[in-house]
Amino acid sequence: HALAAWLVHRADPGLSHARGFLARVYPRLAAWHRYLLRRRDLGGGGLVSVVHPWEQGMDNSPCWDAPLARIDPAPARSFRRADLDHGAPEDRPTDLDYGRYVRLAVEYRDARYADGHGEFAVEDPSFNALLIASEHALAHIAAELGAGSAARHARAERLTAALVERLWSAESGMFLCRDVSGGELIPERGVSGLIPLLLPTLPGELVTALVRTLTGPHFGLGSTTRLVPSYDLLGEAFDPHRYWRGPAWFNTSWLVERGLRLHGERAPADVLGAALLELAEASGFAEYVDPFTGEACGARGFGWTAALALDLHQRLLDRPG
């Protein structure tokens, strides 16, 4: 949220200042970070845990399969799946998966949203990378408001070190999720493990490894795929159309493009940026697309696809040279 707020401010600093935007949002953003860092370090290693797949957003990623398998699903007749009003059932999570999401949500609600009591807790690389990027953004906001920013940059550095220590897998060439219950890394390559490219002080050798993984056979960017697949092309659970088990999403590709450009990886960033703009328009601003063909999937006229395409288009226009 803090990263988004900072980018909104940067889009029109004059209007932002006139409306007191940063001064209004900063205390709320700081409180959100305090909650995450104080209440969600369920693994004890300094990182934040996700307690529901919906919270992180990649609903039925294969990275969740093992932790979710412990959850007894809610009875199928106890809920109605509104998501099927917007997509083909064969492209959406299964009823079994959805029953587990509902069970987790109900138990979390019934426990009055107390953290640390559920059976599902996962340290996710993208959730933590976005938190770290937002710590840096909070530092920029604090500096803009005349407050101290050094402590926030230092906290972002500590979180980056914890992310590398706990979630980096040299064997996989990327970051992996960690199941807090058992303590083990989950051996599934998801797009979440590429999002830490957003971090400005990620060690150079890790950036090199991530780019190699992104453009290699597991994700195929620039050779077999147009946008970044949501899951390993060689993984057993890969499906080019089923939610988060293979299709390419514009929001995750937008994040990866920003990360590549941040670290001077101009060639893959240019390839990805051009594909994002082309496929956003060609697909009718689809929710997500087939990673190989760019065929539109899910909803059309999707708001975040349009917003991110506009943002990327403007950034490319503003870029020197």
- Helix ranges (H only) for 183-249 are 204-215
* CA pair distance 130, 214, nearest whole angstrom: 19
* CA pair distance 310, 299, nearest whole angstrom: 18
* CA pair distance 66, 102, nearest whole angstrom: 17
* CA pair distance 30, 19, nearest whole angstrom: 19
Which amino acid does the sequence have at 315? R
Annotated catalytic residue, options 59, 144, 265, 290: 59
* CA pair distance 123, 156, nearest whole angstrom: 16
Closest alpha carbon to 252 in 120, 106, 127, 103: 127
Residue with tokens 């539109």: 296
Q: What count of other Cβ atoms lies within 10 Å of the Cβ of residue 317?
A: 7
Angle between helical axes of 303-318 and 266-282 (0-180°, round to 10): 140
Check if the beta carbon of residue 192 is closer than 8 Å to that of residue 55.
Answer: no
Strands 49-50 and 288-289: unpaired
Annotated catalytic residue, options 123, 179, 232, 287: 287
* CA pair distance 24, 9, nearest whole angstrom: 12
* CA pair distance 286, 279, nearest whole angstrom: 9
- Helix ranges (H only) for 20-173 are 21-39, 53-56, 65-68, 95-110, 125-144, 150-167
287 an active-site residue? yes
**Residues marked as catalytic:** 59, 287
